[in-house]
Amino acid sequence: MNLHPNPIDAEQLRSCAAAALQCNRRDLSIRRWEIGPGRRSACAWGQVFDKPFFSKTLLKDPFPVMLPVVAPWEEDFGSVLRSPAEQIETEWHTNLRLFRIAGPESVPTPLGKSIAHRTIVWEDVGGVRVDELFKRHLLLDSQTPAVTAALTRAGEWLRHLQQRSGGGFATLNLQDVVEQMRARLALGGSDSTRRVHHALQILQEAFAEIPSSELTVRTVLGHGDFTLANMRWNAAKERLYVVDFENFAPAHECQDLLSLIFEMRTRLLNPLVSKRSVMALENAFWSGYGPASRPIMSFIHGIASARILYFHLPQALQKRKQQGGISRATASVYSRFLAPAMLARCMEGM
């Protein structure tokens, strides 16, 4: 079967899942399928005998693996290339490893893989994506108990992973972070200069709370892409499932924390979203995670807020300009009136 050229279809995905499960394709049906936003893979949901399954089939060769962003000045998610075989093996083995650490209550059970068909199959854990819950909650003020419970579990999950995997220590040089930010400020650019300046100010204020210019953090195993899109909330079972382990690797303890806090705070760029709601959800996460030291909290606050100003705010403005229609027409209004308000929202203590 010629798998590679897109478009792929449901019948091909059915054959891929059957190969991964080593069963006859007659025993298996596909209920729904979709191609991921980056067109890197196709996901399918179906049944094998009576069991619901979820499959992922890689579409790109070589396969680009996105790297997590950990600094406020990183403009883009870098990527590394892996062969599809390498990618399937990596995701399979990291999944097994996490499965052993976290257990079947929060990590989907892997059911089978096929290197030739570039496919992995898991149990379908049901539920809904937490990023969808989060958006609905912030914009419609609905789903509050579900999203609060999901985020509390997310905090507990991360703490558990870090406790089970901790080993050594790493030292983060805060002065380097500030210097890099200063270097960006020196590059100039009228409109952005003010934002970079504020980003620098946020970093400096946050780092002033840290007694030394170096921060020692624990080295742990990191999920690597700890975002709301990679979590599912199953309300019937009251369980949070964490998925997508392609970037699972040794990390320092702030990396997964930063990914999630970045993501939650970027919602502040939507003027319809109340800061109180975002903070309530951030607090739900911290209540599950438990106490973090003051220097670590200051580090995370500084980097996450600086990144919104330095990176996400200009990106949101640019997107509006490119969208055309009403978005384009409102872009300059947004830029003149709302952007400064956003700046103030991000700069006030979180």
Ligand X SMILES: Nc1ncnc2c1ncn2[C@@H]1O[C@H](COP(=O)(O)OP(=O)(O)OP(=O)(O)O)[C@@H](O)[C@H]1O
> Measured at CB, which residue is nearest to ligand X?
36
| Choice between 88 and 202, CB closer to ligand X | 88
DSSP 8-state symbol, 335: I
N-terminal to C-terminal alpha carbon distance within the chain = 54
Query: Up-side HSE of residue 212: CA atoms within 13 Å toward CB?
Result: 7
Site residue total, ligand X (CB under 6 A): 18
Tokens encoding 204: 């400096």
230 binds ligand X, rule: CB under 6 A: yes
- Assess contact for 254 and 217: CB atoms under 8 A: yes
* Residue 267 beta carbon to Mg ion: minimum distance, rounded to whole angstroms: 18
91 binds Mg ion, rule: CB under 5 A: no
> By CB under 6 A, which span of 227-235, 262-270, 282-290, 297-305 interacts with ligand X?
227-235
Burial 30-64 (b: 16+ CB within 10 A, else e): beebeeeeeebbbebebebeeeebbbbbbbbeebe
- Residues 155-174: x where in contact with ligand X by CB under 6 A, - otherwise, as a string: --------------------
Query: Residue 256 binds what, of Mg ion, ligand X, none (CB under 5 to 8 Å, by partner type)?
Result: none
244 binds ligand X, rule: CB under 6 A: yes
239 binds ligand X, rule: CB under 6 A: no
Can you tell me which of 12, 28, 33, 40 binds ligand X, judged by CB under 6 A? 40
87 binds Mg ion, rule: CB under 5 A: no
Can you tell me which of 115, 170, 185, 229 binds ligand X, judged by CB under 6 A? 229
Phi and psi of 168, rounded to 5°? -105, -155
| Choice between 87 and 162, CB closer to ligand X | 87
Query: Residue 36 binds what, of Mg ion, ligand X, none (CB under 5 to 8 Å, by partner type)?
Result: ligand X
Rounded to whole angstroms, the Cα distance separating 87 from 92 reads: 8
Query: Up-side HSE of residue 1: CA atoms within 13 Å toward CB?
Result: 14
54 binds ligand X, rule: CB under 6 A: yes
Rounded to whole angstroms, the Cα distance separating 289 from 275 reads: 21
* Residue 349 beta carbon to Mg ion: minimum distance, rounded to whole angstroms: 32
Tokens encoding 143: 């789903």
Tokens encoding 36: 């991921």
244 binds Mg ion, rule: CB under 5 A: yes
Amino acid identity at 155: G
108 binds ligand X, rule: CB under 6 A: yes
| Choice between 229 and 280, CB closer to ligand X | 229
CA distance readout (Å), 43 to 15, 62, 345: 13, 18, 38
| Choice between 230 and 298, CB closer to Mg ion | 230
* Residue 200 beta carbon to ligand X: minimum distance, rounded to whole angstroms: 33
Tokens encoding 72: 């406020």
Rounded to whole angstroms, the Cα distance separating 243 from 95 reads: 8
Can you tell me which of 4, 9, 38, 328 binds ligand X, judged by CB under 6 A? 38
> By CB under 6 A, which span of 15-23, 118-126, 162-170, 267-275 interacts with ligand X?
118-126
Residue 89: count other Cβ atoms within 10 Å of its Cβ.
15
Can you tell me which of 232, 252, 267, 307 binds ligand X, judged by CB under 6 A? 232
Residue 276: count other Cβ atoms within 10 Å of its Cβ.
8
Q: Judge residue 6's burial from the number of C-beta atoms within 10 Å of its C-beta, 0-12 exposed, 13-18 middle, 19 or more buried.
A: exposed
Residue 280: count other Cβ atoms within 10 Å of its Cβ.
15
* Residue 91 beta carbon to ligand X: minimum distance, rounded to whole angstroms: 8
* Residue 45 beta carbon to ligand X: minimum distance, rounded to whole angstroms: 6
- As a residue count, the chain comes to 350
> By CB under 5 A, which span of 9-17, 120-128, 206-214, 244-252 interacts with Mg ion?
244-252
Query: Up-side HSE of residue 57: CA atoms within 13 Å toward CB?
Result: 29
Site residue total, Mg ion (CB under 5 A): 2
Contacts to ligand X by CB under 6 A? 36-38, 40-41, 43, 54, 56, 108, 122, 124-125, 129, 229-230, 232, 243-244
Contacts to Mg ion by CB under 5 A? 230, 244
